[in-house]
Structure 1
Amino acid sequence: MNRIKLCVVGACGRLGSTIIKESIDHFEIVGAVESVHNPNIDKTLTNFGIIESDIKITSSDDLSSAISNADVTISATTPTAELLNAPVYVENNKKIIIGTTGFSTDEYSKLVSTFNNKIPSLLTSNFSIGMNFLYNLSELVGRLPDEFEISINEKHHSKKLDAPSGTALSIAKIISKSKGYKDLIFDRTKHGKRQQSELDVTSERLGGIPGIHEINIAGQYELLRLEHIAFSRAAFARGALVAAKWLHNISEPKIYSMKDVISN
């Protein structure tokens, strides 16, 4: 059985390096990319201590070369880097999976415009299979009586840049659509008494937590709590690799999501 050839952009990052480590049984790493000034450029993956491989870590300036032999590329970098790299995937007709968060509305729209109907691509705020199942459960909250109110809390490691997390915002979008909320409240101290149109989304940054997302659903006399806890970044890496296997078999040039992956 031929292994899927994979390139990872953001190869030295927390998620990128974990994806490479988790890939060794079923994929062939043919490219590893980092930002131009990363000190690990030109080191092999062996030198960097990820896996035993002679593949060198390539500068993003040479992205076209790095993805040339890849069946699928997975990228976890920054919004700025993704917008710079996106046209390269299109020009080279390469399938791309992006798990970067922190995009502004305009940045995300630009990314979608770059990929739409040009190449098979997959965009997600969270690769975890369990979290994407939680997304599906979140769609059901609109069936609850009006007295039930909902809040979202997320916890991550103290080095995470964006808050709330992209995942929390994705949950909020799903719940708002289902329940009819119009306003996201990130700091209750500035808004006073809760209004019917409001959904509270709070964030905490501490320690080395890979990710905890909690949905609280409260009526007057009962509380339902839906919680997803990632024990390790391997949960996200394995989900990314499931997505890569799925996208490898897709030919229609559309933008897909993890919902498409877990639905098939």
Structure 2
Amino acid sequence: MKIALVGYGKMGHMIEACAKAMGHDVVATIDVSAKDATALVPAGDGNAVAQAVKKSGAEGVIEFSHPTAVIGNLKALIPLGLPVVCGTTGWAKSEDEIEGLCASSKGTCMRSSNFSIGVNMFYKIVEEAAKIMADYSEYDVAVWEAHHNQKADSPSGTALEVARRVMIGNKTKTEMVFDAFHEKPKANQLHVSSTRVGFVPGTHTVFFDSPADEIELTHRARSREGFARGSVTALEKLAAKLKSGELAAGKLYGMKDLF
């Protein structure tokens, strides 16, 4: 497949390497500042991004840019009619808008806070564990995550999805709290805390804590490669399922629709 990459930072470079190793042709690398990108575009100019993709002859797009740029990029890319895979996080509040754009333009987008196969299996494990532990009220639950100090958003999109899965399994938790507590937490509050330090690729832990013991479930990424390879796999599957008719154009999809 001919792939265009929108966002050519550390993750973009890793995606390019994985895509080539998996037999694909990266026909465009688009960024606002990366000097080795094939196309430099002005910050915030989604139309310039779309024009660069069109010019490249790409058959699919992987978008890993920045939370401040992602909505403008998606608004320009989705109407092109190419399958778009988006790994940029921090735009959950705009999902309804992008879903509407997919429907009105007959474009297709697949978004995920984390494309790692291991992380998506971790979501399932966490949800099932929360369901099991919910029967034992002496166990409280919390979520913690750590990432490198260059990450622009907090908490991570992956941490938010982990927390959501906890709340699906444990109905007593109805509110996520991201800030520091200045009073005793309420029983319905799920604390989701974040650390930004050094070069951590991504660590996510769920704690089940009781007076007698503690259970920890942790996913620890060793590098960005799992995220990068997963995003290429997602584009492969999205394109194949659109071609076969298993998925229809004009929708916003998630990882559960592909795996």
Report the CA distance between 1:130 and its aligned residue. 0.6
List structure 1 segments (4+ residues) > 4 angstroms apart after TM superposition.
Answer: none
Alignment match, 2:107: 119
| Distance (Å, rounded) in 2 between the aligned partners of 1:152 and 1:255 | 27
| Distance (Å, rounded) in 2 between the aligned partners of 1:39 and 1:159 | 16
Report the CA distance between 1:104 and its aligned residue. 5.4
Matched, 1:64 2:64: no
Map of 1:60-209 to 2, 5 A cutoff?
61-68=47-54, 69-103=57-91, 105=93, 107-116=94-103, 118-140=106-128, 141-144=130-133, 145-147=135-137, 148-180=139-171, 181-190=173-182, 192-209=183-200
Residue 78 of structure 1 aligns to a residue whose secondary structure is: coil
Query: In the alignment, is the contact (CA less than 8 A) between 1:157 and 1:209 conserved in 2?
Result: yes
| Distance (Å, rounded) in 1 between the aligned partners of 2:115 and 2:189 | 28
Q: Do the aligned partners of residues 39 and 187 (structure 1) sit closer, same or farther apart at CA in structure 2, a change above 3 Å counting? A: closer
Report the CA distance between 1:58 and its aligned residue. 4.1
The Cα offsets for residues 136-193 of structure 1, whole Å up to 9 and x where unpaired, read as: 1122112321412211110111121211111111111121122121121223432x32
Q: Do the aligned partners of residues 39 and 75 (structure 1) sit closer, same or farther apart at CA in structure 2, a change above 3 Å counting? A: closer
Alignment match, 1:50: none
Alignment match, 1:23: 19
| Distance (Å, rounded) in 1 between the aligned partners of 2:155 and 2:81 | 33
The Cα offsets for residues 80-124 of structure 1, whole Å up to 9 and x where unpaired, read as: 32211223223221110111112252x333223222472232111
Kindly provide the amino acid, as one letter, of the partner of residue 28 in structure 1. Answer: D
| Distance (Å, rounded) in 2 between the aligned partners of 1:27 and 1:255 | 24
Q: Do the aligned partners of residues 39 and 212 (structure 1) sit closer, same or farther apart at CA in structure 2, a change above 3 Å counting? A: closer
Q: Which moved more, 1:71-80 or 1:181-190?
A: 181-190
Kindly provide the amino acid, as one letter, of the partner of residue 164 in structure 2. Answer: K
Alignment match, 2:252: 255
The Cα offsets for residues 41-97 of structure 1, whole Å up to 9 and x where unpaired, read as: xx5x5xxxxxxxxxx234254323332322210001123322112232232211101
Q: Do the aligned partners of residues 246 and 104 (structure 1) sit closer, same or farther apart at CA in structure 2, a change above 3 Å counting? A: closer
Please, which of 6, 10, 33 is the counterpart of residue 7 of structure 2? 10
Q: Do the aligned partners of residues 259 and 155 (structure 1) sit closer, same or farther apart at CA in structure 2, a change above 3 Å counting? A: same
| Distance (Å, rounded) in 1 between the aligned partners of 2:237 and 2:26 | 17
Stretches of structure 2 that go unaligned for 5 or more consecutive residues are 243-247
Query: In the alignment, is the contact (CA less than 8 A) between 1:158 and 1:208 conserved in 2?
Result: yes
Residue identity (%): 28
Question: What is the TM-score normalised by the length of structure 1?
Answer: 0.84
Query: In the alignment, is the contact (CA less than 8 A) between 1:86 and 1:115 conserved in 2?
Result: no
Residue 250 of structure 1 aligns to a residue whose secondary structure is: helix
Kindly provide the amino acid, as one letter, of the partner of residue 79 in structure 2. Answer: E
Matched, 1:232 2:223: yes
Q: Do the aligned partners of residues 116 and 226 (structure 1) sit closer, same or farther apart at CA in structure 2, a change above 3 Å counting? A: farther
Report the CA distance between 1:39 and its aligned residue. 5.5
Query: In the alignment, is the contact (CA less than 8 A) between 2:80 and 2:107 conserved in 1?
Result: no
| Distance (Å, rounded) in 2 between the aligned partners of 1:258 and 1:23 | 19
Kindly provide the amino acid, as one letter, of the partner of residue 13 in structure 2. Answer: S
Residue 97 of structure 1 aligns to a residue whose secondary structure is: strand
Q: Which moved more, 1:205-214 or 1:73-82?
A: 73-82
